Amino acid sequence: MMFRSLVTGCGAYLPSQVVTNADLSKRVDTDDAWIRQRTGICQRHIAAEGEMTSDLGLAAAKEALAQAGVAADAIDLIVCATSTPDETFPATATRIQYGLGMAGGAAFDVQAVCSGFVYGLSVADNFLRSGQASKALVIGAETFSRILDWEDRSTCVLFGDGAGAVVLEGIKQDGPPNGKDRGILSTHLYSDGSHHDALYVDGGPSSTQSVGHLRMEGREVFRHAVVRMAEAVDAALEANGLTPGDVDWLVPHQANIRIIESMGKRLNLPSDRVVVTVDRHANTSAASIPLALNEAIGDGRIRSGDLLMMEAMGGGFTWGSALVRW
């Protein structure tokens, strides 16, 4: 018996502390105009002292479950995408599992940096399609503020903290899959480890026995992002026999407004059909797509039956896409 994954609920959480570009200009040699012009970012949310990635993820998960009308003990799989776990181990997903009061099922993390939510969605989708799980929580949660070098103006202005989550339910597939089905139509994952030095953290248990700080070659990342994400978008459309004109909404990773606009043009989508939150959230890595998704669902832009294209690229490099009929 074949199943497909239906998205039944979405939730999000942003820390209450907001740091504007003007606030950052008091800390590093930068200004609001410089940041806006290059990135589109105006502000970001920063986790409070003692507020951990699992706290953010738990809050987003609870909201997603409430929206879906699903009890926590009905979930048999939690996949948490994060590059900033509470600890080296155990998995942050298990902390969230405990916080939800769950004693059964499986919970684990996936680490694909900014592509993490797409990777997590793919993993959960395959569990549900195979019948190994019936209901799943996919969470993107990050506290990137903990790994930033706040003396480096080229990186510290780019990132923020937050979490988003979706509830997936496996439903019986009646007949062969087609592009009109609701749910996850397909996911497409890629990586290329030869670009390690373009975006990485200069620390880790095995290398430096420390956490380290984020390091990035911005121009190199930008150049690859436009090309790689376009490839992932094309793969998703081809796999489902669809064209750019079939896509109702682009829900992209929120890294840079220029990259987002470039992808919107590739799909020939007007700007009001591209979900943009980078101006208020900055780059929240694995949390950025579910945060954007939650906002567009919450304000009524995304409606039942709409076709959504999600795409992302992160350190590694990793990149991917997911085509979802809401």
Give the pTM. Answer: 0.97
| Annotated catalytic residue, options 80, 114, 156, 188 | 114
* Active-site residue, 281 included: no
Task: Supply the pLDDT for residue 184.
Answer: 97
Q: Which residue spans within 14-150 are E strands per DSSP?
A: 17-20, 43-46, 77-81, 106-110, 135-143
Q: Which of 10, 253, 256, 294 is catalytic?
A: 253
Token digits of residue 267: 């799909």
Question: 6 CB contacts (<8 Å, ≥6 apart)?
Answer: 168, 169, 170, 171, 182, 183
> How many residues can be counted in the chain?
326
Q: Which amino acid is at 85?
A: P
CA-based nearest residue to 225, from 321, 81, 117: 321
pLDDT in tens, the chain (326 residues): 678 999 999 999 999 999 999 999 999 888 899 899 989 999 999 999 999 999 999 999 999 999 999 999 999 999 999 999 999 999 999 999 999 999 889 999 999 999 999 999 999 999 999 999 999 999 999 999 999 999 998 999 999 999 999 999 999 877 666 667 899 999 999 999 999 999 999 999 999 999 999 999 988 999 899 899 999 999 999 999 999 999 999 999 999 999 999 999 988 999 999 999 999 999 999 999 999 999 999 999 999 999 999 999 999 999 999 999 99
User: What strand order describes the sheet that includes 106-110?
Assistant: 3-13, 161-172, 135-143, 77-81, 106-110
> DSSP 3-state assignment of 34?
helix
CA distance 31 to 124: 41
Note if 10 is an active site residue. Answer: no
Positive or negative: CA dihedral 29, 35, 39, 43: positive
- Confirm whether 283 is a catalytic residue: yes
Q: Which of 240, 256, 283, 294 is catalytic?
A: 283
Q: For residue 251, which amino acid is it?
A: V
pLDDT for res 175: 67
CA triplet 14, 91, 133: central angle to 5 degrees? Answer: 90
| Cα(11)–Cα(86) distance, integer angstroms | 20
Apex 162 CA angle, 16 and 254, nearest 5: 120
Give the pLDDT confidence score for residue 177 in this predicted structure.
Answer: 65
Please give the pLDDT value at position 180.
Answer: 78
